[in-house]
Amino acid sequence: MRNKILKFPEGFLWGASTSSYQVEGGISNNDWAVSERVPKAGLACDTYNRYPEDFAIAKYLHHNAHRLSLEWARIEPEKGHFDEDALYHYHSMLSFLKDNGFKTFVTLHHFTNPVWVANQGGWANSKTTKDFCEYVSKAVQSLGQLVDFWITVNEPKMYAGMAYAQGIWPPFQKGFLKPKKVYDSLLTAHNQAYDIIHAYDPEAQVGFSQNIAWSEAKHKGLDRLAIQFADWLSYSALDKTRHDFIGLNHYMYYRVHLAFSWRHYLNISRGEKLTERGWAIHPDALYYVLMKLKKYRKPIYITENGIADRTDRYRTSYIHDYLRAVHRAIQDGADVRGYLHWSLLDNFEWEDGYKWKFGLVEVDFKTQKRTIRESAFAYSHICQDNAIEITSN
């Protein structure tokens, strides 16, 4: 047995991802904050105020890239009224990152909407696309010099499904045709935002983050058809959009078995371990998705991948094994240029509130104390060495 070092390409970006409503705290005017049907984020990690501490931790952990999102409701609390203080605040946050040598990934829409957007019918109203573009123009003019990678929309397919098909997120609709309409509107918004950002800076790097799972059919026939449909939803979005890179969020492996309805599928397992959330740990899934993305001939950044693991018992090996899959994909021709772990901090996990702990850094939500987990140190070595170490025969 000996140890082997697997090097990543020079200039590979290493870091972590967050989103505004999940970490910032103090957001009271988006559709989540005003809803009685979902938990509220409240103070969250108070990152809006504590960002110097949080970004210093990321730097100490040898991250050289960081992903955050802008809260539309802060920047445009009323239609057409832009809050210069909020823009100044984001300017300070991003300047802090740039001054400390980070590459910045900035998401413009990560699941939340200002209340006024929700009141006009959200993304089911085609006017929202135009409103989104006005917010994008303002954000790009104010912050563009500090942004290396723009992610216009986070997981449009997931958002449309959770908010307009399953009805779990605001506006809690359980439609049949609307989810596709919303998905398409988000992709249109992406394309328009792409043009706006490029008009400001022709060299800008613009993409969106798509959540793509790897699925295997238990039986031929219906199971396979279901997978083809789900894959079509994911990959066709890449065919009909303009992007300079592909943002991949990857968490899931499914072994699909359709019974009587969409609800009755099996997502596990041939002995895979499951995370606390019940998601199968299957690193090859990431390899196969990366192999499918190769054909787009665009740089790929993994903009999210991570594990709910309160005890931190599995996170180190999870990161290691998934990165090994990434390395293998690079060897086999996938142009992967960065990995952003979800997440820097334990944070607000949407309909489940604070139940799941995805952080490299533990947060005590009573005291706001940060404690760096062991896995964060293990990941830090990888970031510093630009390599993982494996034991081979």
Using CB under 6 A, list all residues that contact ligand BGC.
19, 22, 154-155, 158, 211, 249, 304, 342, 349, 358
Strands (E) in the chain, as ranges, are 2-7, 13-17, 65-69, 103-109, 149-154, 205-211, 214-217, 246-249, 253-256, 300-304, 336-342, 361-364, 369-372, 387-392
The minimum distance between CB 159 and ligand BGC, in angstroms, equals: 9
Nearer CB in complex with ligand BGC: 6/230: 230
Question: Chain centroid to CA 260: how far?
Answer: 32
The minimum distance between CB 248 and ligand BGC, in angstroms, equals: 11
Residue 252 and residue 158: Cα distance in Å, rounded? 13
Nearer CB in complex with ligand BGC: 107/142: 107
Per the omega criterion (within 30 degrees of 0), is the bond before 156 cis? no
Residue 302 and residue 338: Cα distance in Å, rounded? 6
The minimum distance between CB 358 and ligand BGC, in angstroms, equals: 6
Q: Which two three-digit tokens encode residue 28?
A: 């009271």
The minimum distance between CB 155 and ligand BGC, in angstroms, equals: 5
The minimum distance between CB 385 and ligand BGC, in angstroms, equals: 27
Q: Using the 8-state DSSP alphabet, how is residue 9 labeled?
A: P
Nearer CB in complex with ligand BGC: 9/278: 278
Q: 242, 239, 252: which is closest to 202 by C-alpha? A: 242
Nearer CB in complex with ligand BGC: 344/382: 344
Nearer CB in complex with ligand BGC: 48/169: 169
Phi, psi for 141 (deg, rounded to 5) = -65, -40
Contact 199, 150 (CB under 8 A): no
- Kindly state the helix (H) or strand (E) to which residue 93 belongs, with its residue range: helix 84-99
Nearer CB in complex with ligand BGC: 281/388: 281
Residue reference for tokens 């203080």: 85
Nearer CB in complex with ligand BGC: 142/305: 305
Residue 378 has, within 13 A of its CA and on its CB side, a CA count of 18
The minimum distance between CB 379 and ligand BGC, in angstroms, equals: 17
The minimum distance between CB 201 and ligand BGC, in angstroms, equals: 26
Pairing of strands 205-211, 246-249: parallel
Phi, psi for 238 (deg, rounded to 5) = -75, -25
The minimum distance between CB 203 and ligand BGC, in angstroms, equals: 27
Per the omega criterion (within 30 degrees of 0), is the bond before 343 cis? yes
Nearer CB in complex with ligand BGC: 154/375: 154
Nearer CB in complex with ligand BGC: 339/358: 358
Residue 273 and residue 14: Cα distance in Å, rounded? 26
* Total number of residues shown for the chain: 393
The minimum distance between CB 220 and ligand BGC, in angstroms, equals: 30
